[in-house]
Amino acid sequence: MSEPRNGPKRSLLAQERSRDTRQAIIRAALELWSERGYAEGAADPTAEEIAERAGISKATFYLHFARKDDILAETAWVTTKVFYEDALQALLRGGPVEEVVDDVTVRLCRRIEKVPRVVQRRIQRAQAISAGPRPDDAEHFGFDRGFALIFLQAQQAGQLPQVVTASALGAMFEAMLYSSLREWAHDEAADLLAMLRARFAVLLAGARAITPGAPHGPG
């Protein structure tokens, strides 16, 4: 009777080990790229070096990632997932929508700024190359999901009008975030947090100003 119960447990443990291994590879790769840079002609870490830093074999590395650039795309997915978890925690702490948005924005900027701009540019190029229909499953989704969660609760609490859906607002904030990230990654003088705070404030003010029956676009 115990075998059928142990089967699912073993499967869950295997999944957890797989996730832990992938995260270890990502951390190792980012550490090496941060130490050496990731520009053309730089001493690009090899798969063997990444595997050694992660404490795994080269064969295990290739079980998870066919190419080193696949790590960059995976890094982007991990960032959006953590952002969603930050949104959940910020909502549990409570407060007006402006404070919640600022909370998750500060945390996101701290996380992003730990990775050098040159690596961020490579992440953005990897995303552009793999552009296509987004899977939007439990492991892969965009920043819009976290933003939409925040705005849905704000609408339910009467802090934002419901003329525009929470998902549409989330998509707008995600688009502004990606635009700002591209600008920041190519401008060493840019302040990502200040940029996002100013632009998100404008978007929030616009969301509040929309009234029922007001035109939302051309026509």
Taking the domains of the chain in order of start, what are their residue ranges? 1-66, 68-212
Which of the residue ranges 39-53, 83-97, 141-155 would you say has the lowest mean pLDDT? Answer: 39-53
pLDDT tier, 39 (very low <50, low <70, confident <90, very high otherwise)? low
No. of H helices and E strands in the chain?
9, 0
pLDDT tier, 120 (very low <50, low <70, confident <90, very high otherwise)? confident
Mean pLDDT value across residues 163-177: 96
> How many other C-beta atoms are found inside a 10 Å radius of the C-beta of residue 5?
8
Read off the pLDDT of residues 135-165 as tens digits, 9 standing for 90 and up: 666 677 899 999 999 999 999 999 999 999 9
pLDDT tier, 19 (very low <50, low <70, confident <90, very high otherwise)? confident
Are the CB atoms for 108 and 203 separated by under 8 Å? no
Domains 1-66 and 68-212 share a fold: no
Give the CATH number of domain 1-66; options: 2.40.30.10, 1.10.10.60, 1.10.1660.10, 3.40.50.300.
1.10.10.60
CATH of domain 68-212: 1.10.357.10
Are the CB atoms for 146 and 84 separated by under 8 Å? yes
**pLDDT value of position 8:** 64
Share of the chain above pLDDT 90, in %: 52
Long-range Cβ contacts of 108-112 (<8 Å, 24+ apart) = 108/79, 108/83, 109/192, 109/193, 109/196, 111/79, 111/82, 112/79, 112/181, 112/192
pTM of the model: 0.78
